Amino acid sequence: MRDTRTKLVFGEEAFGKLQNAKILLLGVGGVGSFCLDCLYRSGVRNITMIDFDVYDKTNQNRQMHSELHEGESKVLALKSHYPEVEAIHLRITPEWVETFDFEPYDIVLDAIDDMKAKIAIIQKCYPKLISSVGSAKRLDPTKIEVCSIWKTHGDPFAAKIRAELRKRHFKGDFSCIFSSELPRIKEKGSFAGVTGSFGLAMCSLALRRISQL
């Protein structure tokens, strides 16, 4: 059976929770696409993915299935590989965040890069949020950690997020996937060994939280 080995790890009761979970995945790029694949292979089916981008050649070094769908909408292309997932093709903006209903979802997974939208997501749904920060410009996946946004270190992007949250007098907390490895370059370079590992770490944390293992 497809899910036999996953059930052995989680146990029957916890695996049932995974199958009943409702997950919102924001962004399906280098981090989000690997997270999506991991969730799906782990038996989660009630997933809504949102992204506005289309595939181009520069995505092919790090984004799941991108080499097969150049020029196509990412979410619509991914739905052809994960047919039970709901795909929404739109740009995530602070205005959209303000009006969207996050209440039905058990977990919100933030794998986007836009700072303003990220801050809006944090402010609106931080109790159920898992957020990914800087995964690009790095080579060592063993430096990936999970902790409170307030305790991240070595990540300039996370530092900017903290600064913006302080400006808004935000007092909440949420889990953050980050790397303590300092960026190696200034350009937008990336390595799938790290970006993909961010996505897998995000999936693992989400599944453990849902199943409470």
pLDDT at 149 over 90: yes
The 10s digit of each residue's pLDDT in 31-44 is 999 999 999 999 99
Could you tell me the two tokens for 39? 């969730």
Query: Residue 132: which of 72, 174, 178, 67 has the closest Cα?
Result: 178
* CATH code of the domain covering residue 87: 3.40.50.720
pLDDT over 70, % of the chain: 100
pLDDT value at 168 more than 70: yes
Indicate whether 175 pLDDT > 80: yes
Token readout for 213 is 């293992």
Nearest C-alpha neighbor of 26 from the set 128, 162, 131? 131
Rounded (to 5) percent helix, strand, coil in the chain? 45, 15, 40
Helices and strands of the chain, counted as H and E runs: 8, 7
- Residue with token string 């924001």: 26
Q: Cα-flanking dihedrals φ and ψ of residue 155, to 5°?
A: -120, 105
Domain count, the chain: 1
The whole domain housing 183 covers 4-211
Pick left, alpha or beta for residue 11 (phi over 0 → left; psi -120 to 50 → alpha; otherwise beta): left
pLDDT tens, residue by residue, 65-118: 999 999 999 999 999 999 999 999 999 999 999 999 999 999 999 999 999 999
Q: Chain-wide mean pLDDT for the chain?
A: 95
The whole-number pLDDT of residue 188 equals 85
For 152-161, the pLDDT digits (tens) are: 999 999 999 9
In eight-state DSSP terms, residue 93 is -
Tell whether the model's pLDDT for residue 21 goes beyond 70.
Answer: yes
Give residue 127's pLDDT band: very low, low, confident or very high (50, 70, 90).
Answer: very high
Cα distance between residue 84 and residue 100, in whole Å: 22
Residue 213 has pLDDT above 80, yes or no: no
24 has which bridge partners?
A: 48, 108
